[in-house]
């Protein structure tokens, strides 16, 4: 890792190495930006989470390598257990267990909640635990199918993130969306990156079957 970092630095001439250098250019945050952090899931955060069908979960392993995993379900799938605790059900996926393996060695996680059409996001940081409590699993079942595991998070802080990135990207404005005709399909990327024996068409059939039959 150190060699990779040194190699990257050698490619550039003007590298920032301290917060002081950053502040010299960007200045200090506004009082509003500093004051917006809260230490509990208050009514405002609770309402946002209840309407969010999508959340990104960031975690890091013991080696410091980071991972970000998207999680999605009908709005409100992340449950607020109390003002300091969230629960995220685990649905069938690729079984890589990237987030879970990271949490086993480093419980610190970061979340970004996203609501379609809403131009700001909600950020949550805390410490996670993987649980299989029967009552909680039953409460988070869909179509009578219980999640095998639940990621429970004790939050340390919550803050809203300003809309500028959403506005600049035009994320919720269809007229601003790029032409995606040249974007590789998921099947194409899997076959190429995994050097798989399946054809793209065969892989697409596998994906379609999973999306139809293995959501829960």
- 97 and 198 housed in the same domain: no
C-alpha 136/C-alpha 85 separation (Å) is 13
C-alpha 139/C-alpha 152 separation (Å) is 14
The yes-or-no verdict on residue 5 having pLDDT over 90 is: no
- 61 and 155 housed in the same domain: yes
Domain annotation covers residue 197: yes
Phi, psi of 37 (to 5 degrees): -75, 130
Contact 151, 87 (CB under 8 A): yes
- 38 and 100 housed in the same domain: yes
Q: Could you report the per-residue pLDDT of 92-135, keeping only the tens digit for each?
A: 999 999 999 999 999 999 999 999 999 999 999 999 999 999 99
Q: Could you report the per-residue pLDDT of 73-89, keeping only the tens digit for each?
A: 999 999 999 999 999 99
Mean of per-residue pLDDT scores for the chain: 96
Contact 25, 66 (CB under 8 A): no
Q: Could you report the per-residue pLDDT of 37-63, keeping only the tens digit for each?
A: 999 999 999 999 999 999 999 999 999
- 117 and 41 housed in the same domain: yes
The yes-or-no verdict on residue 14 having pLDDT over 70 is: yes
Q: Which domain holds residue 195?
A: 178-213
Domain annotation covers residue 75: yes
Domain count along the chain: 2
The yes-or-no verdict on residue 2 having pLDDT over 70 is: no
Domain annotation covers residue 24: no
C-alpha 34/C-alpha 24 separation (Å) is 18
Last residue of a domain, one of 169, 187, 204: 169
Domain annotation covers residue 23: no
- CATH number where 161 lies: 2.30.110.10
């Amino acid at each position: 890792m150190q060699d990779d970092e040194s190699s990257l630095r050698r490619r550039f001439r003007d590298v920032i190495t301290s917060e002081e250098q950053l502040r010299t250019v960007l200045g200090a945050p506004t009082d509003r930006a500093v004051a917006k952090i809260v230490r509990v899931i208050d009514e405002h955060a609770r309402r946002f989470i209840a309407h969010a069908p999508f959340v990104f979960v960031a975690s890091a392993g013991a080696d410091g390598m980071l991972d970000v995993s998207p999680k999605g379900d009908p709005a409100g799938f992340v449950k607020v257990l109390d003002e300091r605790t969230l629960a995220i059900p685990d649905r069938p996926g690729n079984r890589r267990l990237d987030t879970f393996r990271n949490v086993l060695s480093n419980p610190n996680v970061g979340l970004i909640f996203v609501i379609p059409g809403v131009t700001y996001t909600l950020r949550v940081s805390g410490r996670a635990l993987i649980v299989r409590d029967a009552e909680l699993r039953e409460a988070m079942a869909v179509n009578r199918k219980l999640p095998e595991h639940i990621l429970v998070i004790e939050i340390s802080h919550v803050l809203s993130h300003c809309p500028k990135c959403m506005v600049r990207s035009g994320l919720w404005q269809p007229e601003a969306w790029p032409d995606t005709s040249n974007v590789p399909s998921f099947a194409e990327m899997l076959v190429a990156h995994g050097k798989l024996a399946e054809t793209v068409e065969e892989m697409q059939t596998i994906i379609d079957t999973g999306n139809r039959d293995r959501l829960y």
